[in-house]
Amino acid sequence: MKKALVLIGLALLTAMESPAQATSSYDQGKPFGWGSVDTPITGSNDENPVVVTTQAELEAALDKNSKTVKKTVYIKGVIKVNGQFSIKDQENKTIYGLPGSAFENTTHSSSKDQSGILQLTRCKNMILRNLTFKGAGAYDIDGKDNLILYQSSHLWIDHCDFQDGVDGNLDCSNGSDYITVTWCRFRYLIAPWAGGSGGASDHRYTNLWGSSDSQGSKDEGHLRTTFANCWWDEGCRERMPRIRFGMVHILNCLYSSSVANYCVGAGYRCNAYVEKCAFTSKNAKKTPWKVYATKSGYTDYNITVTGNLGAEDAQEKSGNIAYFIPKDYYAYDSYDASLVESVVSNETTGAGATLTIAEGEKYTTGISDLYMSKPLASNDSTYDLAGKRVVNPQLGQIYIKDNKKILFR
């Protein structure tokens, strides 16, 4: 009987595997980290596919009458925009970029309303994969971002390529939460524009997590994010990311920009854990992280730097916030920092829009509560498939908890 139950458990996992295999032996092909805590990110489960070629078609596919309907959207070709548009109140959606596709805004203007590409507003349980965002180039006008996450939660952003954001490449604010960003590439191919109203001649500031020190009522206890296998490539000057309030885990990421002023920025109430990353350029090694929690009244921060290449181990704090340790919240796999550069910068299987998704293909692994990460409290009752209580659950094994089968990760 015990053998039969184990076989049933293995069959459950096998049935959930997608026909599309991971592009790299280190690519799990599913969200993990903060995005998998408590509620799994399932997106559309590849149901109800539609192909769009314009902004209007995309907005029609995600209209207000189908807010919670599962829908799979394939972006085909280049969608040109002239100013940021918002997808609002959407749930249970997956958006794929087909090879060669892109969102593009090439408008260089002193008007911030003509900048930016996409904003997700009050969205949840969404997956964005293989998308390319092409901005008009960094310009300090308090403009808009290639992608901003605004009051949204349980999002998985995977294998996307963010280029030349006017204000930022990918930002997160206003209480957004439970975010996983994997295998994404951030870079600047256009020289920065000088003369903006903000005064900075080089605003290649790529990722801002938490928009201001005074926004604690919105961001405190939120902005929980995992960055894994991401690449801050050439042209990135600062904010890789710069963090306020959030507990942010940065794992197996690559920092290679030759113009970096600093890489990870620890702002007010930041709680960052930088693990097994590779800082490979001279400038990245010089300042892998920097404290920005220096303004009077806004000096609390935490940062842990461990197991990295090109950055010494460190743990530093100000104030009374407890250090964030990711494994207190979710389990995960990692690899040695010495491998990061070769794995993440691989032009075929590494970070960026490198997935070979076909039109209509069911690419994302079916995800259920088997893949939900949740730390087990000491008084939880957990059993193996034979019905025997387990004191120390092992990673990668199936157990029965609260009368449900879970894969403990």
pLDDT in tens, the chain (409 residues): 434 333 333 333 333 334 444 578 999 999 999 999 988 899 999 999 999 999 999 999 999 899 999 999 999 999 999 999 999 999 999 999 999 999 999 999 999 999 999 999 999 999 999 999 999 999 999 999 999 999 999 999 999 999 999 999 999 999 999 999 999 999 999 999 999 999 999 999 999 999 999 988 999 999 999 999 999 999 999 999 999 999 999 999 999 999 999 999 999 999 999 999 999 999 999 999 999 999 999 999 999 999 999 999 999 999 999 999 999 999 999 999 999 999 999 999 999 999 999 999 999 967 765 445 555 444 456 665 555 556 556 555 555 565 555 555 4
Q: How many CB atoms lie within 10 A of CB 99?
A: 14
Inter-CA distances, 373 with 19, 226, 324, 367, 396, Å: 23, 13, 17, 12, 11
Please report the pLDDT score of residue 382 as a whole number: 63
104, β-bridge pairs: 80, 134
404 phi, psi to nearest 5 deg: -125, 145
In whole angstroms, give the CA distance from residue 335 to residue 296: 39
72, β-bridge pairs: 49, 94
Closest Cα partner for 26 from 254, 367, 294, 300? 254
In whole angstroms, give the CA distance from residue 243 to residue 52: 34
Encoding tokens for residue 324?
């964030």
Please report the pLDDT score of residue 13 as a whole number: 37
In whole angstroms, give the CA distance from residue 129 to residue 106: 22
CA 221-225-231 angle, 5° bins: 150
By residue count, the chain amounts to: 409
Identity of the amino acid at 252: N
Check: CB of residue 96 under 8 Å from CB of residue 357.
yes
Closest Cα partner for 12 from 408, 409, 396, 407? 407
Check: CB of residue 294 under 8 Å from CB of residue 263.
no
Closest Cα partner for 112 from 81, 91, 143, 83? 143
In whole angstroms, give the CA distance from residue 48 to residue 44: 8
Mention every residue, 6+ apart, whose C-beta is less than 8 A from residue 39. 125, 154, 178, 372
Encoding tokens for residue 131?
């998308």
In whole angstroms, give the CA distance from residue 172 to residue 197: 23
In whole angstroms, give the CA distance from residue 33 to residue 248: 10
Closest Cα partner for 179 from 302, 344, 37? 37
Identity of the amino acid at 297: G
Please report the pLDDT score of residue 50 as a whole number: 97
pTM of the model: 0.87
**What is the biggest distance separating any 2 CA atoms in the chain, rounded to whole angstroms?**
74
Bridging pattern class, strands 314-318 and 301-306: antiparallel
Q: How many CB atoms lie within 10 A of CB 296?
A: 5
Residue with tokens 């400038």: 283
